[in-house]
Amino acid sequence: MIKHELNERKQKILNAIVHDYQHSAEPVGSRNLSRRYLPDLSPATIRNEMADLEEEGFITQPHTSAGRIPTDRGYRFYVDRLMKAMQPSQREEEIVKNTYSKINQNLDEVLHQTAKLLSHTLDYTAIVVNHGSHRRVFSAGTSSLLHQPEFRNLAQMEKILELLEEEEMLFEIMQEYTNPEEIIIKIGSENKYKPVKDCSVMVTSYEVNNEPVGEISLIGPTRMYYSKAASLIDYVAKELSRVLSGGF
């Protein structure tokens, strides 16, 4: 967790940059921030604060004369300090409950449908790992990454596709990143695994009768909608645990 302190104005500007970039995938300029998010601050004031944020490593300028985008450090500050907790929408809760209500008593189908549910709802790659007597890995939504501008680079996509075929590495990543007490989020360069160094990875565990038996993970761009993704993966993990504890 980042210990670095930012004053309230810098925090508001960083928060606005993250939100705008999550939606647009385009560098964010001071005029846009002033007009859409911070009307009480002039573009000149915002530019000065952005210069400080850039110097401190929270944002960067990808191209000359372009706006700024968050760095991995900026996203980490956002996740640790600025991100507001969300609840899944009523529609999302209904989709989850309906998905599980239609599945027959087959563990593989339950886990596969869990991965498909998350990938379809969030447009990220979802992975579900089970550590039973026969370890299983189910993934869905690899093509979803192609919807993200960051992954239109074929070399980057090849790395991720190769990772999804390496079940042992997926087990290793899931086990290393899992903490039964919380959702783990690894952002970009925080990942020690090369194929996902340009991605964010979110992992939580699920249980049977209060005993962890596997993990659910999301892989997406570093501009992932962290709050929405965290709320949904947490809800799905709890529902999956409830379903599995009820008779599988």
Domain contains 225 = yes
Q: Which residue has the higher pLDDT, 146 or 109?
A: 109
Q: Which residue has the higher pLDDT, 60 or 150?
A: 60
Domain contains 214 = yes
Whether pLDDT at 154 is above 80:
no
Domain contains 2 = no
CATH number where 177 lies = 3.30.450.40
Q: Which of 82, 111, 136 is the last residue of a domain?
A: 82
Instruction: Indicate the pTM of the whole model.
Output: 0.92
Percent of the chain with pLDDT over 70: 97
- Count of domains observed in the chain: 2
Asked whether residue 107 falls in the same domain as residue 78, the answer is no
CATH number where 15 lies = 1.10.10.10
Asked whether residue 71 falls in the same domain as residue 106, the answer is no
Asked whether residue 76 falls in the same domain as residue 104, the answer is no
Asked whether residue 78 falls in the same domain as residue 94, the answer is no
Q: How far is CA 244 from CA 24, 101, 104, 212, in A?
A: 39, 12, 12, 11
pLDDT tens, residue by residue, 174-209? 888 988 889 999 999 999 888 899 899 999 999 999
Please state, as a whole number, how many other Cβ atoms lie within 10 Å of the Cβ of residue 91: 9
Whether pLDDT at 1 is above 60:
no
**Which of 35-44, 65-74, 109-118, 170-179 comes out lowest in average pLDDT?**
170-179
What CA–CA distance (Å, rounded) separates 126 from 235?
14
Q: Which of 52, 82, 112 is the last residue of a domain?
A: 82
Domain contains 1 = no
Domain contains 20 = yes
What CA–CA distance (Å, rounded) separates 187 from 174?
15
Asked whether residue 58 falls in the same domain as residue 147, the answer is no
pLDDT tens, residue by residue, 204-233? 999 999 999 999 999 999 999 999 999 999
Contact 180, 211 (CB under 8 A): no
Query: Model confidence at 243, in pLDDT bands (50, 70, 90)?
Result: very high
Whether pLDDT at 172 is above 60:
yes
Helix (H), strand (E) at residue 69 = strand 69-70
Please state, as a whole number, how many other Cβ atoms lie within 10 Å of the Cβ of residue 181: 7
**Closest among 33, 35, 37, 57 to 47, alpha carbons compared:** 33
Place of tokens 């300090």: 81
Asked whether residue 103 falls in the same domain as residue 161, the answer is yes
pLDDT tens, residue by residue, 49-83? 999 999 999 999 988 777 999 999 999 999 999 99
Asked whether residue 37 falls in the same domain as residue 149, the answer is no
**Closest among 244, 228, 245, 241 to 92, alpha carbons compared:** 228
Asked whether residue 132 falls in the same domain as residue 229, the answer is yes
Asked whether residue 78 falls in the same domain as residue 102, the answer is no
Average pLDDT over residues 91-102: 93
Domain contains 3 = no
- What pLDDT is recorded for position 3? 52
- In which domain, by residue range, is 212 found? 90-245
Asked whether residue 52 falls in the same domain as residue 131, the answer is no
Domain contains 201 = yes
Asked whether residue 62 falls in the same domain as residue 178, the answer is no
Asked whether residue 106 falls in the same domain as residue 210, the answer is yes
Q: Which of 82, 111, 134 is the last residue of a domain?
A: 82
Domain contains 136 = yes
Percent of the chain with pLDDT over 90: 70
